[in-house]
C-alpha cells in the first residue's frame, strides 16, 4: 500500500475488490472447466455448453418471461414484506404493549423454515402467485420488522427534542426526522432480504408453479441437464447482483452525508 493515495487505499479496503472478485470467478471457471474433462457432462458440463444455454434463455421470449416472472415475484414479495414489516416496526416502536404481543410472534415466525411455509401455503391457498407472495412475505417479514425497529429505536433523543422544539405536525416529524433516521436500516434490510427472498422464491416455484426460474430448474433436473440448471441459476445470481448493486448505489446516494474516513478499519 505504500505510496498509494489514501483515498485509493480506502476504496481497496472493503468496497472496491473488482480485480480480486474477477480473479476468484475466473479461477472457479477454470477449475470447473478442468473438472469437465474428467467427469460426464451431466455432472460437470463444459463452460461453452453453459454459456450457450445461458444465451438461449435470452434469445427467446418464453424463457425471458420465466425469468421476469421470478424477478417480479421476488420484488413484489419483498415490497409486501417491507410495507408490513415497517408498519409493524412503527407500531412496536410507538407502543410497548403492541411490542410485547408482536415481538414473540415475529420471533416465532423467524424460526419457521421456508419449506414449512411452502407446504402450508400450498394447503391454504389456491392461487400460485399468492402462494409465492405469501411465502416470501412470511420468511422475510421478521428481518424487515427487526431492522426497521432497531433503526427507529436508535433515533437520537437530542434530534427528537430539537425537532419537537419547532412544534412539527405528526406527518412533518415523520418526514424530516423519522424517515431519514430509518433509511440506513431499511436499505440494510433490503440487501439482507434480497438473497433470502430469491432462494425462497425459487423453492416455492420448484414445488408449486408452472413458470419461473424454479419451475425451469425442475425441468432441467428431470432432463438431467446440468448446463441448463447452471444457466438458470446464473440468471438468478445475475439478477441478485444487479439489484444489490442498485441498492448499493442508492445507499451511497442517500447516505452521502456520512463522513468518509481516509483510513479503513
Residues that bind other proteins (CB under 8 A): 158-159, 161-169, 172, 176-177, 180, 255, 257-259
Closest CA to 135 of 66, 76, 91, 64: 76
Give least dist CB 10 to other proteins, A. 16
Cell of 21: 472478485
Chain-centre distance for alpha carbon 134: 16
- d(Cα 75, Cα 203) in Å, to the nearest integer? 16
Give least dist CB 158 to other proteins, A. 5
Indicate the residue among 184 and 211 with the shorter CB distance to other proteins.
184
Give least dist CB 247 to other proteins, A. 18
Indicate the residue among 13 and 168 with the shorter CB distance to other proteins.
168
- d(Cα 109, Cα 6) in Å, to the nearest integer? 46
Indicate the residue among 109 and 251 with the shorter CB distance to other proteins.
251
Q: Report phi then psi at 5, rounded to 5.
A: -60, 150
Give least dist CB 184 to other proteins, A. 10
Q: Provide the 8-state DSSP code for 14.
A: I
Indicate the residue among 186 and 201 with the shorter CB distance to other proteins.
186
Amino acid at each position: 500500500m505504500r505510496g498509494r493515495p489514501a483515498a485509493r487505499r480506502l476504496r481497496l479496503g472493503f468496497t472496491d475488490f473488482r480485480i480480486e472478485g474477477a480473479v476468484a470467478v475466473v479461477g472457479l471457471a477454470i477449475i470447473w472447466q478442468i473438472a469437465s474433462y474428467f467427469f460426464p457432462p451431466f455432472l460437470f458440463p463444459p463452460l461453452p455448453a453453459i454459456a450457450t444455454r445461458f444465451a438461449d434463455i435470452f434469445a427467446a421470449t418464453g424463457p425471458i418471461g420465466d425469468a421476469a416472472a421470478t424477478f417480479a415475484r421476488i420484488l413484489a414479495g419483498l415490497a409486501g414484506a417491507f410495507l408490513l414489516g415497517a408498519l409493524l416496526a412503527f407500531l412496536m416502536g410507538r407502543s410497548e404493549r403492541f411490542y410485547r404481543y408482536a415481538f414473540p410472534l415475529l420471533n416465532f415466525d423467524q424460526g419457521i423454515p421456508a419449506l414449512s411455509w411452502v407446504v402450508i401455503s400450498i394447503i391454504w391457498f389456491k392461487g400460485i402467485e399468492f402462494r409465492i407472495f405469501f411465502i416470501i412475505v412470511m420468511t422475510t417479514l421478521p428481518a424487515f420488522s427487526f431492522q426497521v425497529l432497531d433503526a427507529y429505536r436508535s433515533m437520537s433523543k437530542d434530534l427528537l427534542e430539537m425537532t419537537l422544539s419547532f412544534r412539527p405536525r405528526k406527518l412533518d416529524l415523520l418526514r424530516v426526522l423519522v424517515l431519514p433516521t430509518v433509511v440506513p436500516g431499511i436499505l440494510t434490510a433490503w440487501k439482507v432480504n434480497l438473497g433470502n427472498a430469491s432462494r425462497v422464491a425459487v423453492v416455492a416455484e420448484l414445488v408449486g408453479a408452472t413458470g419461473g426460474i424454479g419451475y425451469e430448474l425442475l425441468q432441467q433436473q428431470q432432463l438431467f441437464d446440468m448446463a441448463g440448471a447452471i444457466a438458470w441459476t446464473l440468471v438468478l445470481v445475475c439478477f441478485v447482483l444487479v439489484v444489490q448493486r442498485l441498492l448499493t448505489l442508492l445507499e451511497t446516494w442517500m447516505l452521502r452525508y456520512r463522513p468518509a474516513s481516509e483510513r479503513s478499519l
